[in-house]
Amino acid sequence: MSVAVELVPAEIPGTPVGVMATGAAALALARRLLEREDTALAGLRGVHQGRSGLAILGHVETLPWVDGVVYLCRGEDAPELLWPSAWRPTVAPAVLFQALRRAFPTLGWPGALVMAGDGLTVWPLGGAVQVDRDVLATWLREAA
């Protein structure tokens, strides 16, 4: 049996615990991060999706605010599954996470459920490491 999963607008947006972006927004996100002091970067973890995407995890107060990015939240009953904070899944997050974990056992959880084209995709976030200025600058040069 299969169940259709959608992201629908949330009545109350979730508290952001991460931010992700692709394309020009990812470049702007990297530039904004590089404007920060090293101490401000210390509380953030990041992971890139090749040269096309960037995801940053941290407390809401430490996340950079950049036009065109997607802020991610999580539910208390599924802390390993993130989704856009202005949206909510149509399936209970805990049930959805278990199904996704079975479908993608090697993903590297946590993961972010995001809209892609006319469907949904899951970005692996398990490889997120502390944001390093030199690594971020190299990624930006190669992605630009």
Evaluate whether residue 138 is within a structural domain: yes
In 99-133, which positions are buried (b, 16+ CB within 10 angstroms) versus exposed (e)? ebeeeeeebebbbbbbeeeeeeebbbbeebeebee
> What was the pLDDT predicted at 45?
97
Q: Which of 21, 11, 68, 66 is nearest to 46 (CA)?
A: 21
Evaluate whether residue 6 is within a structural domain: no
Q: Taking the complete model, does pTM exceed 0.85, yes or no? A: yes
Evaluate whether residue 114 is within a structural domain: yes
Domains: count for the chain: 1
Evaluate whether residue 85 is within a structural domain: yes
The encoded tokens of residue 29 equal 């996100």
Evaluate whether residue 1 is within a structural domain: no
- For 67-84, the pLDDT digits (tens) are 999 999 998 899 999 999
- For 97-143, the pLDDT digits (tens) are 999 999 999 998 999 998 887 888 899 999 999 999 999 999 999 99
Evaluate whether residue 4 is within a structural domain: no
Evaluate whether residue 9 is within a structural domain: no
- Domain extent for 114: 14-143
Evaluate whether residue 2 is within a structural domain: no
